[in-house]
Every structure is written in structure tokens, then in C-alpha cells.
Amino acid sequence: MVRPTAIIIIMPREWLESLKTRGMSLGLDMAFRALETLGNPQNTSKAIHVAGSNGKGTTCAILSAALIISGQKVGTFTSPHVSRIEERIRINGVPVSALVFDEALLRLMEIDEGMTFFEATWLAACIVFERMEVDIMVVEVGLGGRLDATRTCDAMACLVTSISLEHREILGNTIQEIALEKAAIASQSVPLLMKYDPLLVDEVEKYHQVQWVVVPNVDFTNEAAILAKAALLKCGFADAASAVEESLGKLNWPARMHNFHIDDIEFFLDAAHNPSGMIRFVEVLEKSIQNKPWSLIFGSSPQHDLEEFIQPLVELMVKYPPIDVICTEPQGGRYPAIKASLIPFGRIVSTPTNALAQIKGDFIVSCGSLYLQGNLLKILGKDSDEDLSLL
């Protein structure tokens, strides 16, 4: 008797999750080969390509919102996601449907020759943007720039936001080296705009023609708006540039300076994940807590220098002591979270679910990791399409 052959069916989400075991692979060869097999969907519309250490996601959100308001059909690719994977791919600000996302993954499963998790999400975005016939793509770099898979987009302009020391083991040990890695998203024929930094000018101009954008001392959101407007004008989107101010009034950018209420409890969530981002977040937070009792839920992904990262927050807590502090461990991140026991303040509650259940007070602040903010938003039920849409 012939035994029937067992057939193992792998579902698209299981396949995508399995790609995390392949780790990270910097380089463009895999992405270009896959896109060629798919018929080069990345070339069906032009892109505004955005890199940077801080503020690049917010800049992409403002670019997208302004373009949508001006009448363009916009495909937006950002990473990582906050609450669910579909957020990485938005059509006119709305996360792509689970069905459309899964159909894109099924196409990728057929041609998989070793792509990473990040490469698969970017390739899925290209498939979706072609299917949805977007007018323009807004594309956020994953890490660095020169060797990031998103560099395969057909950029009409490239924008680099603020630069700080990050991912030094990959991008370089100096701010100049890191800036060059990020500026390299732009080929010679593509306009490159960068936030003006006198420390970068001499080195970057050895290799690139740059339009430097001077930004006054403003908060992250307004800095991103200034950079977005400059890029839109460079691309010839005058109507969208004029809509930047309107977009700021309407923009919903989850987990980035994200303030909302649930019943009588106020939440303020931010994804500050490196020292310079933490400094900027604390500057904003201080204005909110001067005359207001507050509580803190903190958790972080691995840091090059944890002490440097948390120092602004520690100084703020000394100046304005919170009524409760919980350190927890973000779930579902690219890397395992820092153990809560290694953070030198607060009481330890290992999971975000329990942290949220146990925190005291009615003004709850959370920072340290985008993944932690995603965990909290999901627990709070703030992860619907409406909650996660840009407008």
C-alpha cells in the first residue's frame, strides 16, 4: 500500500515571520533580482526617499499627508511598524488591508531565494503600490542608506533629516561617516537635500551636490515640516508644499509625541530610541509635566550606551519626580529588549500588559522604544485602521 505524501502548507504570515531567522543583510542584489522577476513594480511611480537618524518617519508622514491633501494618490512605506505589520504599507495614509498584504506575500513566497524580513516587506510594498496605481511613493530608509533595500526605488528626490551617532558597528564611528552612508541613497542624477549641519558640510560635499536646508531651533514635528516642504518644492509639488501647515493640524502619527485620552486617563507616548531623540523628547515632555503629576512606563531595545540614552530622562525625574515608574521589556522587536532589571530606576514589571495594569496615576508617559509604544497601543485597543491612519 502506497502511503499518501504529506503536504505541508505554509501560510504567508508564517513564512514572513520565519524570515526573521535570516537576520539582517545589507545590500541591493537580492532586492534588484526579486524586483526584476516581479516586473520591476518599483518603477511604476516616482518616490521621495527619506533617510536620517531622527525624524525621518515623521517627515515621511508629513510628506504623505501634504501630498494626499493636495490630491495625489500616495503610497507610503515606513518601518518598523507600531502595532501591526500592515502599517508599513499605507495607501493614502491608511494601512493596507490584510488581504492585499497577504496576496503580495504569496507572490514573494514563489520567488524567495533568501530574502530577509525587511526586504520582503519592502518588496511587498512595491507590489501593492503597483497594484493600487499610486501617483507617488514616500519611502523611509530602513537602516543607513547606501546598502538599504529601499534604495532600489525610483527616487525623484532624496532627503536626509538630522544625523546622530547610531548603529556605529554598521554605519561608522563618526557623525561624518554616518552622514555619508545616509547621503548615499542619492545617485548623481537625483537631487539631494539635507538638514544643514556645519559638522557635515565639508565631508559630504566632497562626494555629493547638496541643497542644505537650514532649520531653526524648533521641535521635531516642525523641523520635519520644514524639511518636508523643502523636498516638496524641489520635486515641483507646490500645492503639497502649501498644504504642509494644514497637514500638521490633521496628522495622526501613532507613537510619536502621541497624546490621547481614554476615559479619564491621559497618555503621552513617544518612540525616542537614541540619545539625541531622547533629548528632544524630554524637552517637550518637561513643558507638559511642570504642573502635573505624571507616571512613567519605560522600556528599551539594546543601546550602544544605555547610561547616555537615559540620562536626560533621569535628570527630568530628579527635577519633576513622577508618582510611579515602571520598567518593562518591549515585546516583538527586532532584537530582545534590555532586561528591566538592568535599568537603574523604577520598579520591574516584565511585560507591558502587566505594566499598564499596575501603573498608578492618570497621566501616563511612555518612551524608550517604538515596540513598547506599539505594545501599549495594542493593549489599549488603539490599533484599528482609523487609529493608525495618517489623516
Instruction: Return residue ranges of the chain for CATH 3.90.190.20.
Output: 258-388
pLDDT number for residue 25: 78
For residue range 200-229, list pLDDT tens digits in order.
Answer: 999 999 999 999 999 998 988 999 999 999
Residue 195, Cβ density class (10 Å: 0-12 exposed, 13-18 middle, ≥19 buried): buried
The whole-model pTM stands at: 0.92
- CA distances (Å), origin 56, targets 8, 89, 182, 389: 41, 16, 11, 17
For residue range 163-205, list pLDDT tens digits in order.
Answer: 887 655 556 578 899 999 999 999 989 999 999 999 999 999 9
**Mean pLDDT across the chain:** 93
pLDDT number for residue 141: 96
| 138 Cβ contact partners less than 8 Å away, ≥ 6 residues apart | 47, 48, 50, 60, 63, 64, 67, 74, 75, 76, 77
User: Taking 90 as the threshold, does the pLDDT of residue 366 lie above it?
Assistant: yes
Task: Assess contact for 79 and 125: CB atoms under 8 A.
Answer: no
Q: Quote the percentage of the chain above a pLDDT of 90.
A: 83
pLDDT number for residue 267: 98
Name the grid cell of 342: 538592568
HSE-CB at 164 with a 13 A cutoff on CA atoms is: 17
| 236 Cβ contact partners less than 8 Å away, ≥ 6 residues apart | none
| 307 Cβ contact partners less than 8 Å away, ≥ 6 residues apart | none
Mean per-residue pLDDT, 128-157: 95
pLDDT number for residue 170: 58
pLDDT number for residue 334: 76
Instruction: Return residue ranges of the chain for CATH 3.40.1190.10.
Output: 27-250
- Residue among 147, 115, 122, 145 nearest 20 (CA): 115
For residue range 280-338, list pLDDT tens digits in order.
Answer: 999 999 999 988 999 999 999 988 889 999 999 999 999 999 999 999 999 988 788 99
For residue 342, name the pLDDT band (cuts at 50, 70, 90).
very high
Domain 258-388, CATH class in plain words: alpha beta
- Residue among 341, 331, 338 nearest 373 (CA): 331
Rounded distance between C-alpha atoms, residue 108 and residue 121, angstroms: 10
- Residue among 206, 207, 224 nearest 215 (CA): 224
- CA distances (Å), origin 33, targets 28, 109, 155, 169: 9, 14, 18, 27
Lowest mean pLDDT: which of 17-26, 112-121, 253-262?
A: 17-26
Q: Quote the percentage of the chain above a pLDDT of 70.
A: 96
Name the grid cell of 162: 538630522
User: Taking 90 as the threshold, does the pLDDT of residue 87 lie above it?
Assistant: yes
For residue 2, name the pLDDT band (cuts at 50, 70, 90).
low
User: Taking 90 as the threshold, does the pLDDT of residue 59 lie above it?
Assistant: yes
Mean per-residue pLDDT, 273-280: 88
User: Taking 80 as the threshold, does the pLDDT of residue 13 lie above it?
Assistant: yes
- Phi/psi for 78 (5° steps) reads -135, 160
Crossing angle (nearest 10°) for helices 117-132 and 29-38? 30
Domain 27-250 has CATH 3.40.1190.10: yes
Mean per-residue pLDDT, 3-31: 82
Task: Assess contact for 312 and 279: CB atoms under 8 A.
Answer: yes
